[in-house]
């Protein structure tokens, strides 16, 4: 029987002009999102390629330049043999956050954070503040990627096809007729939902698979399977909601108003209200204050000047040059190392305050995100595409670690008053990004999935309980 | 008779639960948005003025230094906020808050506030502007979709017209009733908003932004009028209220959701901007002489010859001034030309992206109201560019003063020439005054005209559909 309902309803749906239009529109939106995702992925790939190329050329030429330097009589700040010059500019590698297989499916936060940084002996906070160039208007509005289509527009199309599954039949008077056949109301609705879901999900899944394939991601992979799982449960939530509202027994127009109101609340009002709440409870101080603190700190450190040197060496016994060579405390390069270290020490509590407040906001989001399936779905899709804040945080931590190693490497040379030799170029620290633990991503996505699944199940249950009380003829 | 129709429409609207609910929620959201906007504005303004004072103090008390070291130390410029930013934070979360003005190079603004937020930021900020741009149109739709279609379905439209009520009169009455109904929600909102702005910035500043506020209000009225007229036309055209509602919500979705994002990717594809990497590489190449100018070494030779000739001496040692100062300033000027061109290109690219997006506003009025709203609030890219230009002009003046000092008084000592706090205080403080309302309006003439055009077009459409009212 169920199969008959689905078959009949599907035939009916596919023959109807308005449904054809909705399906065609959805296909068009998906295709546009897909195309944008592919372009975004391509943009990232080519940028990383040209960054790598520049680095390769520079580092390949460096040993030769170092070898020639003694005969050129360059001033110290241009001499590539100087550790400060090499570590600050000439030998610096790029720290690259490579795109993930599914990165073309959700741009997420990845247009907001840099995906490559140039290392140097400068302070880490300075290096991390580098930005990608983008028109602020574009950032404000956001991108038309596949996840946008799926999180915002997909529910609307679901609601457009199912806001009146029961009310329309009731208004036409066909519901009583249908139910006089040996079929239950539950089964009828299930069949109608299944046929609609088949049309929309076929398109959504097809577009996701096409996007994954076009950006070179394996379709048979855990992340992609999770992507589909999120997509399915998110669709289930909206279908369940449509069923429930239909069972309230109101007219089609009322259903449409109610469902639109829920959609506006869950995709727009709740997220921005949560954003406001998180921001008010844990206000992140403006960076204006940080800049001020940084200036103060570097002034203070500079004023202490050479007295810092002794403490610096106390803190870094491994850097104390052995043998006969002594550190020249007046030496500009070594003093600036100490000043920089002191500045960072003074800045640590200020920067910590930013991190703590942001941590507080994230903690609130962790708890309150369950209020909106749209937030959950977007978060899960970002996680799977590697465009969520977690992956950038991961990258940032590794960057800070690497920059510490990089600076220590050159500090050792500075304090030993050593110049770089051509062979030293080979021995420079290298950065390789180690991706997040896939288990952590799966766990995060699983939580989001459950967060959508549980309310969906509750709505289905409520609908089930309501079903027996639903009037099948218009009052 | 028009009055009777209007009154009936108005009373019905006040009694309609859907309108009450939506209107109530919209009002509450507006109030919350005002309140948080006000608190944030207050706090940020305080921080900005404190920071601006501190950076000046740092400059004034930097102690004995070479002028060029001072130029390297530089100052920070912090972008101030206009009072109307309470309503619309615009692009502020996505433009950096401060720029470092130092020797040799024009820096980018750093620290975009959105980077210090969770993913929720990308769902949009709950500002008064967002409520007015996205939710009030929804309220208008709920108020209008049944205006004619509802009566048509109930059969009262046939009765009304059979009584000899002219269709245009009916339409006018309904429009007036709608206006009154909308007023119930909007008038308190406007009063609330005006109060918030007044509180946030004090009377003097608020008075200065009065022309901006008037233009802003005008733009929003046009925007609401467009939605109301479209709502009435669709209701007059649609056979059933259901169809009317679906069509209007469809338009709302295209306007508020699909068109803006679709436009972003479209304009990016048509007019791409360079990556930060390419941008930096191009500037570096230009500075090194890649732009067809002489390479630094050759330029230094030319400069030397020119200066020697100018002072009529044959050796640098014989110059009555410090060559270091002259050479540094020459480097600055070479850099400035490069920065002017490269940053100019970049800003122009942003600008043409925004202009292109404006034209799509023909189909989606949101794309016209958004830039106008940001422009009047002083939070659009044009205001950002204006501030960036002012800061850069200050940077160049600062550097020139430092280099001139070195040139005129650093003879023989060059980088050993030290000056003290009394010299630092001769450099004027950085003081930025935002451009006035007419500048902002001129910047957004196109979206303004498009708002007006769409309002007029929607008005005509409404008039025509209402005067050819179908009974069935």
pLDDT at A324: 38
- Please name the residue of chain B whose CA is at the shortest distance from the CA of residue A267: B123
Given CB atoms, is A268 within the 8 Å cutoff of chain B?
yes
Cα(B90)–Cα(B361) distance, integer angstroms: 18
Considering chain A, what is the average pLDDT of its residues?
Answer: 87
pLDDT at B110: 84
When comparing pLDDT for B316 and B459, which is higher?
Answer: B459
Neighbours of B72 (CB within 10 A): 14
Query: Whole domain around residue A396: which residue ranges?
Result: 1-475
CA atoms within 13 A of residue A70's CA, in its CB half-sphere? 6
Coil, strand or helix: which one is A116? Answer: strand
Contacts of A252 in chain B (CB under 8 A): 242
Q: Which of residues 80-109 of A touch B (CB under 8 A)?
A: 108-109
Q: pLDDT (tens digit, 9 = 90+) per residue, A315-362?
A: 665 555 544 344 444 466 777 778 888 888 888 888 888 888 888 888
Question: Where is average pLDDT lowest: A286-290, B277-281, B449-453?
Answer: A286-290
Domain count, chain A: 1
Identify the CA nearest to A286 among candidates B128, B171, B296, B42: B42
Query: How many CB pairs below 8 Å do chains A and B form together?
Result: 223
Neighbours of A306 (CB within 10 A): 13
Q: Shortest Cα distance from B283 to chain A (angstroms)?
A: 14
Cα(B36)–Cα(A459) distance, integer angstroms: 34
DSSP track, B82-121: -GGGGT--TTGGGS-SEEEE-SS-PPPPB--GGGGS-GGG
The whole-number average pLDDT for the span A154-175 is 88
| CA distance readout (Å), A361 to A34, A110, A445 | 32, 19, 19
Residue pointed to by tokens 């309108």: B19
Q: pLDDT (tens digit, 9 = 90+) per residue, B235-257?
A: 999 988 888 998 999 999 999 99
Question: Where is average pLDDT lowest: A437-441, B116-120, B176-180?
Answer: B116-120
Query: Whole domain around residue B61: which residue ranges?
Result: 2-467
- Please name the residue of chain B whose CA is at the shortest distance from the CA of residue A126: B110
Reported residue count of chain A is: 475
Question: Quick one: pLDDT band at residue A292, thresholds 50, 70, 90?
Answer: confident
Q: Which of A81-85, B295-299, B400-404 has the highest mean pLDDT?
A: B400-404
Residue pointed to by tokens 């360079």: B274
Of residues A144, A292, A388, nearest to B51 (C-beta): A292
pLDDT at B411: 81
Given CB atoms, is A229 within the 8 Å cutoff of chain B?
no
Determine which helix (DSSP H) or strand (DSSP E) holds A94, and give its type and residue range: strand A94-96
Q: Which residues of B434-453 are buried (b: 16+ CB within 10 A; e: fewer)?
A: beebeebbebbebbbebbbb
Residue pointed to by tokens 């449509």: A242
The whole-number average pLDDT for the span A222-251 is 94
Cα(A130)–Cα(A136) distance, integer angstroms: 15
Q: pLDDT (tens digit, 9 = 90+) per residue, A361-407?
A: 888 888 899 999 999 999 999 999 999 889 999 999 999 999 999 99
Question: Where is average pLDDT lowest: A326-335, A461-470, B284-293, B308-317?
Answer: A326-335
Given CB atoms, is A1 within the 8 Å cutoff of chain B?
no
**Partner-chain contact A148 B119, CB within 8 Å:** no
Q: Shortest Cα distance from B69 to chain A (angstroms)?
A: 13
Q: Which of residues 294-333 of A touch B (CB under 8 A)?
A: 295-296, 299
Domain count, chain B: 1
Q: Is the pLDDT of residue B198 over 80?
A: no
Cα(A265)–Cα(A248) distance, integer angstroms: 19
Q: Shortest Cα distance from B239 to chain A (angstroms)?
A: 13
pLDDT at B425: 92
Q: Is the pLDDT of residue A310 over 90?
A: no
Q: Is B393 exposed, middle or buried (0-12, 13-18, 19+ CB in 10 A)?
A: exposed
Instruction: Select from B119, B249, B378 the residue whose CB has the most chain A CBs within 10 Å, as the one to mutate to test that interface.
Output: B119
Q: Is the CB of residue A134 less than 8 Å from the CB of residue B264?
A: no
The whole-number average pLDDT for the span B325-351 is 92
Contacts of A165 in chain B (CB under 8 A): none
Instruction: Select from B120, B125, B351, B387 the residue whose CB has the most chain A CBs within 10 Å, as the one to mutate to test that interface.
Output: B120
Question: Quick one: pLDDT band at residue B203, thresholds 50, 70, 90?
Answer: low
Residue B101 forms part of a structural domain: yes
Cα(A205)–Cα(B179) distance, integer angstroms: 46
Residue B39 forms part of a structural domain: yes
Task: State percent of chain B over pLDDT 90.
Answer: 42
Cα(A189)–Cα(A162) distance, integer angstroms: 10
Q: Is the pLDDT of residue B24 over 80?
A: yes
Q: pLDDT (tens digit, 9 = 90+) per residue, B391-414?
A: 999 999 999 999 999 999 888 777
Residue B472 forms part of a structural domain: no
Q: Is the pLDDT of residue B264 over 60?
A: yes
Q: Is the pLDDT of residue B461 over 50?
A: yes
pLDDT at A330: 41
Q: Shortest Cα distance from A78 to chain B (angstroms)?
A: 13
Q: pLDDT (tens digit, 9 = 90+) per residue, A12-53?
A: 888 888 788 888 989 999 999 999 999 999 999 999 999 999
Cα(B174)–Cα(A451) distance, integer angstroms: 45
Q: Is the pLDDT of residue B274 over 50?
A: yes
Cα(B353)–Cα(B369) distance, integer angstroms: 16
**Partner-chain contact B111 A287, CB within 8 Å:** yes
Q: Is the CB of residue A299 less than 8 Å from the CB of residue B58?
A: yes
Q: Is the pLDDT of residue B261 over 90?
A: yes
B112: left (phi over 0), alpha (psi -120 to 50) or beta: beta
Q: Is the CB of residue A412 less than 8 Å from the CB of residue A405?
A: no
The whole-number average pLDDT for the span B85-105 is 89
Provide the pairing of β-strand A116-118 with A94-96. antiparallel
Identify the CA nearest to A402 among candidates A81, A103, A97, A62: A97
Neighbours of B268 (CB within 10 A): 21
pLDDT at A326: 43
**Partner-chain contact A141 B114, CB within 8 Å:** no
| CA distance readout (Å), B421 to B61, B416, B426 | 6, 16, 9
Coil, strand or helix: which one is A250? Answer: coil
Q: Is the CB of residue B259 less than 8 Å from the CB of residue B367?
A: yes
Question: Quick one: pLDDT band at residue B223, thresholds 50, 70, 90?
Answer: very high
pLDDT at B131: 93
pLDDT at A36: 93
């Amino acid at each position: 029987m169920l199969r008959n309902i689905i078959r009949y309803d599907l035939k009916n749906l596919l023959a109807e002009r308005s449904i054809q239009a909705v399906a065609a529109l959805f296909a068009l939106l998906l295709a546009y999102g897909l195309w944008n995702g592919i372009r975004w992925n391509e943009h990232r790939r080519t940028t990383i390629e040209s960054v790598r190329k520049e680095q390769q050329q520079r580092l390949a030429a460096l040993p030769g330049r170092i070898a020639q330097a003694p005969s050129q009589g360059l001033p110290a700040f241009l001499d590539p043999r100087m550790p400060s010059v090499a570590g600050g500019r000439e030998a610096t590698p790029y720290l690259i956050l490579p795109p993930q297989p599914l990165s073309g499916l959700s741009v997420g936060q990845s247009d907001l954070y840099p995906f490559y940084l140039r290392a140097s002996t400068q302070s880490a906070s300075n290096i991390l503040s580098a930005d990608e160039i983008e028109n602020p208007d574009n950032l404000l509005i956001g991108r038309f990627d596949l996840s946008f289509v799926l999180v915002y527009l997909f529910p609307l199309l679901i609601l457009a096809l199912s806001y009146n599954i029961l009310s329309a039949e009731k208004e036409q008077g066909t519901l009583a007729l249908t139910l006089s056949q040996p079929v239950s109301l539950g089964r009828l609705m299930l069949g109608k939902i299944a046929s609609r879901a088949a049309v929309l999900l076929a398109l959504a899944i097809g577009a996701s698979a096409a996007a994954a394939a076009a950006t070179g991601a394996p379709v048979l992979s855990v992340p992609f399977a999770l992507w589909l799982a999120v997509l399915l449960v998110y669709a289930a939530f909206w279908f369940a909601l449509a069923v429930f509202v239909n069972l309230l027994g109101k007219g089609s127009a009322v259903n449409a108003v109610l469902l639109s109101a829920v959609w506006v609340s869950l995709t727009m009002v709740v997220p921005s209200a949560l954003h406001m709440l998180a921001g008010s409870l844990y206000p992140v101080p403006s960076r204006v204050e940080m800049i001020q603190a940084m200036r103060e700190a570097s002034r203070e450190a500079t004023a202490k000047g050479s007295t810092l040197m002794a403490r610096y060496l106390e803190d870094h016994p491994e850097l104390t040059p052995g043998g006969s060579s002594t550190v020249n405390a007046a030496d500009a390069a070594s003093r600036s190392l100490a000043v920089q270290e002191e500045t960072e020490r003074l800045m640590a509590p200020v920067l910590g305050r930013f991190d703590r407040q942001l941590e507080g906001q994230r903690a609130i989001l962790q708890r309150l995100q369950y209020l909106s399936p749209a937030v959950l779905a977007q978060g899960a899709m970002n996680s799977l595409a590697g465009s969520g804040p977690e992956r950038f945080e991961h990258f940032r931590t590794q960057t800070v670690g690497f920059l510490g190693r990089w600076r220590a490497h050159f500090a050792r040379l500075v304090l030993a008053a050593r110049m770089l030799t051509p062979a030293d170029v080979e021995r420079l620290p290298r950065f390789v990004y180690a991706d997040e633990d896939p288990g952590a991503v799966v766990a995060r996505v699983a939580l989001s999935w459950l967060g959508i699944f549980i309310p969906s199940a509750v709505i289905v249950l409520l609908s089930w309980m309501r079903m027996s009380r639903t009037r099948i003829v218009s009052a | 008779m028009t009055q009777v129709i209007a009154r009936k429409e108005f009373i019905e609207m006040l009694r309609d639960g859907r309108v009450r609910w939506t209107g109530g929620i919209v009002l509450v959201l507006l109030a919350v948005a005002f309140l948080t906007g006000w608190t944030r504005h207050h706090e940020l303004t305080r921080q900005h003025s404190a920071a601006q004072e501190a950076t000046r103090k740092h400059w004034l008390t930097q102690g004995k230094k070479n002028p060029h070291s001072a130029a390297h130390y530089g100052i920070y410029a912090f972008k101030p906020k206009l009072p109307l930013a309470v309503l619309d934070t615009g692009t502020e979360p996505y433009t950096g808050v401060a720029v470092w003005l130092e020797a040799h190079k024009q820096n980018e603004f750093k620290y975009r506030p959105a980077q210090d937020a969770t993913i929720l930021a990308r769902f949009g900020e709950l500002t008064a502007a967002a409520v007015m741009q996205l939710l009030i149109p929804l309220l208008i739709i709920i108020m209008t979709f049944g205006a004619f279609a509802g009566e048509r379905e109930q059969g009262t439209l046939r009765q009304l017209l059979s009584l000899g009520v002219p269709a245009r009169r009916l339409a006018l009455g309904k429009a007036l009733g709608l206006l009154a109904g909308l007023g119930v929600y909007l008038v308190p909102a406007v009063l609330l908003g005006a109060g918030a702005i007044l509180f946030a910035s004090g009377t003097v500043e608020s008075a200065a932004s009065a022309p901006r506020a008037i233009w802003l209000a005008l733009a929003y009225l046009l925007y609401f009028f467009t939605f109301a007229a479209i709502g009435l036309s669709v209701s007059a055209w649609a056979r059933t209220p259901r169809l009317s509602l679906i069509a209007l919500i469809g338009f709302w979705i295209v306007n508020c959701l699909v068109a803006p994002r679709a436009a972003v990717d479209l304009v990016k594809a048509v007019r791409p901007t360079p990556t930060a990497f390419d941008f930096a590489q191009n500037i570096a190449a230009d500075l090194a002489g890649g732009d067809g100018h002489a390479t630094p070494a050759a330029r230094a030779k030319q400069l030397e010859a020119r200066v020697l000739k100018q002072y009529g001496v044959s050796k640098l040692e014989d110059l009555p001034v410090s060559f270091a100062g002259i050479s540094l300033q020459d480097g600055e000027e070479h850099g400035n030309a490069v920065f002017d061109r490269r940053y100019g290109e970049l800003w122009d690219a942003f600008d043409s992206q925004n202009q292109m997006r404006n034209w799509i506003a023909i189909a989606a009025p949101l794309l016209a109201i958004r830039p106008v709203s940001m422009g009047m609030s002083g939070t659009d890219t044009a205001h950002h560019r204006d501030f960036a230009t002012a800061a850069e002009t200050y940077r160049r003046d600062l550097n020139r003063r430092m280099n001139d000092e070195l040139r005129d008084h650093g003879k023989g000592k060059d980088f050993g020439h030290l000056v003290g706090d009394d010299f630092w205080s001769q450099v004027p403080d950085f003081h930025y005054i935002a451009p006035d309302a007419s500048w902002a309006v001129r910047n957004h003439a196109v979206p303004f005209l498009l708002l007006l055009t769409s309002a007029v077009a929607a008005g005509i459409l409404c008039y025509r559909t209402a005067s050819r009212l179908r009974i069935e």
